[in-house]
């Protein structure tokens, strides 16, 4: 009888130990699900994505940087400027992406253009991308504002959707840029 009591106590303690771990894992998953992507900010508070990657074949990378702006499914480019030097190059494009967000409670999400600037710099065996100057362009002459500065007239839920969906779209664009520059597209 004493051994049975000891076995039951061991089983109960083991179950409690396992339940503690399961509760911790469930809590972690709940907290993780609530975490949203965040657009990185510069020290001055402006939204900006940057990255620097080693380039093995500079002439090929320069050609890839020039042709990257020919892909209209990523960004609707309004203007592209290029500055070439022998081993250095800078290509800058301004355009807009379309982000979906609900403008009213139960409505369907509608497309909202968000302007941006992408600069690709090739220097010293590296290429660096910078994506910044995000501006929300309201449809049909609606409100226009820098994405970093939420106007009082814009509802918080709409603003949060703009931030989250812009982050998703730009993150996809950066992933595509990296693959494209490697020749994996």
pLDDT-derived band at 34, boundaries 50, 70, 90: very low
pTM, rounded to two decimals = 0.74
Contacts of 164 (CB under 8 A, 6+ apart): 36, 37
pLDDT at 147 over 90: yes
Residue with the larger pLDDT of the pair 121 and 185: 121
DSSP tally for the chain: helices H, then strands E: 3, 6
Q: How many Å apart are CA 160 and CA 22, to the nearest integer?
A: 32
Is 48-182 CATH 3.30.530.80? yes
| Mean per-residue pLDDT, 11-18 | 68
Q: Model confidence over 64-108: pLDDT tens digits? A: 998 999 877 789 999 999 998 877 899 999 999 999 988 766 678
> What is the average pLDDT value for the chain, to the nearest integer?
82
In contact, 136 and 151? CB cutoff 8 Å:
no
């Amino acid at each position: 009888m004493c051994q049975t009591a000891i076995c039951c106590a061991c089983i109960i303690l083991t179950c409690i130990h396992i339940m503690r771990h399961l509760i911790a894992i469930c809590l972690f998953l709940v907290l993780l699900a609530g975490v949203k992507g965040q657009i990185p900010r510069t020290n001055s508070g402006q939204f900006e994505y940057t990255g620097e990657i080693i380039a093995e074949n500079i002439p090929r990378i320069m050609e890839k940087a020039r042709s990257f702006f020919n892909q209209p499914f990523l960004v609707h480019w309004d203007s592209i400027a290029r500055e070439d030097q022998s081993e250095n190059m800078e290509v800058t494009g301004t355009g807009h992406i379309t982000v979906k967000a609900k403008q009213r409670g139960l409505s369907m999400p509608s497309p909202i253009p968000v302007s941006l600037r992408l600069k690709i710099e090739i220097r010293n065996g590296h290429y660096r991308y910078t994506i910044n100057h995000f501006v929300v362009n309201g449809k049909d002459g609606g409100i226009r504002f820098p994405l970093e500065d939420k106007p009082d007239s814009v509802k918080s839920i709409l603003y949060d959707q703009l931030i989250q969906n812009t982050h998703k779209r730009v993150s996809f664009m950066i992933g595509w840029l990296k693959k494209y520059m490697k020749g994996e597209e």
